[in-house]
Amino acid sequence: MKNILFVASECVPFIKTGGLADVVGTLPKIFDKNEYDCRVIIPNYRCIPDKYRDNFKYVHHFYMDMGERFNSVHVGIMEYELDGIKFYFVDNLFYFGGDKPYADTRYDIEKFIYFSKAVMAILPVINFRPDIIHCHDWQAGLVPVYLHTLYRDNPFYQGVKTIFTIHNLRFQGIWDIKTIRSLSGLPEWVFTPDKLEYKKDANMLKGGLVYADYITTVSDTYAGEIQTEYFGEGLNGLLSARNQSLCGIVNGIDYEAYNPETDTNITKQYGTKNCKKSKAANKKALQQEIGLPVDESKFVVSIISRLTDQKGLDLVRYALDRICDEFTQFVVLGTGDPQYENLFREYAWRMPGRLSANILFNEGFAHRVYAGSDAVLVPSQFEPCGLTQLIALRYGTVPIVRETGGLKDTVQPYNEFDGTGIGFSFANYNGDELLNTINYAKHIYFDCRKEWDQMVLRGMKTDYSWANSAKKYQDLYCRVLGW
């Protein structure tokens, strides 16, 4: 039996702002329970829905020193079991009492220093000694650092290995050395350029990358990209140096949660057999729900995304007038940077009946948008893996993507000559290429409908469940443990 602990800042179904939550909440369920005792630890945010929080079981609490600034900080431990997996929640209302998981950067830094240290301190209390601590993103970056410093000589942690998974290299947890040092209690010698120091500041993600036994990221292409200057976010040198301990394992999606045959969020359930008719019904229901003209002949293209520059929205801005022609309806579901929220609000006002801007986060509604759309647009500047295109494929919705990171690895482009491919893609970060690709997709949709419908079915039949990738993680765990 191998003991694995996932450490992360979000996890479905409890709390989600992006794809990280899907991965952390789904992957542990896939491992063979006879071989793996995989548990998950996240913060006990006040904004986790009460239907879960009310059922969390109190396990224990204690007080922990945290750097020079505070001693005796409260650490509560709550537990909840779901689908045979034990989830732990670090409880501290001062840090996790807000109405959303992340807020001001300085405050987040302190929050996740606290979280990382608390995770280390909790393990003997719950009597769970992981063989591997699997850390996700910068919020868990200090866990491997603590393991190799403050907890180095503690017998309980001897032989514990760490894997660090990069879901997005852009977010790193950077603040000045003095503050991070005094909050974390880490020794002075880790704040050097070969360890946590980064351009005179301290970088929590870098700490994880330096100290982890192995690094993974969420697609093969992104694993290569982050070793280059353009995608490396200032850490490409370090990542190239760790090249022998770095690989990409592409994400899957939860085939139970995202299953159009059983999904109760959508109007009409469907599989590959009754897809065409049912998708038309879902399209009409969606149009009605969001106040667009109910007309199944329109090409409905959607964006379901955090609204940030990473997601290629500057290209969309450039082409939007021309995308929204009289045959097309454009649906946006997302929140984020006000400049993009307002861009879509403005277009909804300028182009009534053609563009619907839904500036909100709603999981159930997202399912209806996936089911009711003909195509989903993911023109990202960079995309470590991307789940949107995988969910779209499952719902018979054709992804139109830029060839970067996981988008490149998962969306084989349509080839009209041999009738292969499951989506459309373009190579360069360029608005005209985006527009041309959308226009080409429309041409296939309107003029070669049979080919389009076959492409939809090929997409639905492509297996992007977690089975393959979970196997790769298991192989990696064995390799890291030398078993």
Residues that bind ligand ADP (CB under 6 A): 18-20, 22, 304-306, 333-335, 361-363, 366, 385-388, 391
Shortest distance (Å) from residue 369 CB to ligand ADP? 8
Mapped onto helix, strand or coil, the DSSP state of residue 389 is helix
> In angstroms, rounded to a whole number, what is the distance separating the alpha carbons of residues 98 and 107?
11
Phi, psi (rounded to 5 degrees) for 56? -65, 140
| Chain centroid, CA 90 distance in Å | 21
CA 212 to chain centre: 20
Q: Kindly state the smallest distance separating residue 9's Cβ from ligand ADP, in Å.
A: 12
Using CA of residue 45, residue 51, residue 52, residue 58, what is the dihedral sign? positive
Instruction: Tell how strand 197-198 and strand 201-203 pair up.
Output: antiparallel
C-beta neighbour count of 13 within 10 angstroms:
14
Closer by beta carbon to ligand ADP, 20 or else 210: 20
Q: Which is nearer to ligand ADP, 122 or 387 (CB)?
A: 387
Instruction: Specify whether the CB–CB gap between 355 and 326 falls below 8 A.
Output: no
Of 40 and 385, which has the nearer Cβ to ligand ADP? 385
Report the nearest approach of ligand ADP to the CB of residue 333 (Å): 5
Please enumerate in sequence order all residues whose Cβ is within 8 A of that of 207, keeping only pairs 6 or more positions apart, or say none: 141, 142, 144, 145, 190, 195, 196
Query: What CA dihedral angle connects 79, 82, 84 and 90, to 10 degrees?
Result: -30
- Decide whether 195 or 279 has the Cβ nearer to ligand ADP: 279
Q: What residue has token string 């018979």?
A: 396
Residue 313 beta carbon to ligand ADP: minimum distance, rounded to whole angstroms: 13
> Least distance in Å: CB of 377 to ligand ADP?
12
| Closest residue to ligand ADP, based on beta-carbon distance | 19
- Minimum CB distance to ligand ADP, residue 147 (Å): 27
Q: Compute the radius of gyration of the chain from its Cα atoms.
A: 23
At 311, list the tokens: 């997601």
CB of 134 to ligand ADP, least distance (A): 18
Could you count the other beta carbons within 10 Å of the beta carbon of residue 464? 21
Work out how close the CB of 438 gets to ligand ADP at its nearest, in angstroms, rounded to a whole number: 19
Helix (H, G, I), strand (E, B) or coil at 41: strand
CA–CA separation, 316 and 334 (whole Å) = 14
Residue 173 or 386 having the CB closest to ligand ADP: 386
For ligand ADP, which is the closer residue by CB, 15 or 123?
15
3/462 with CB nearer ligand ADP: 462
> Which residue, 130 or 252, is less far from ligand ADP as judged by CB?
252
Taking a C-beta distance cutoff of 8 angstroms, is the pair 36, 29 a contact? no
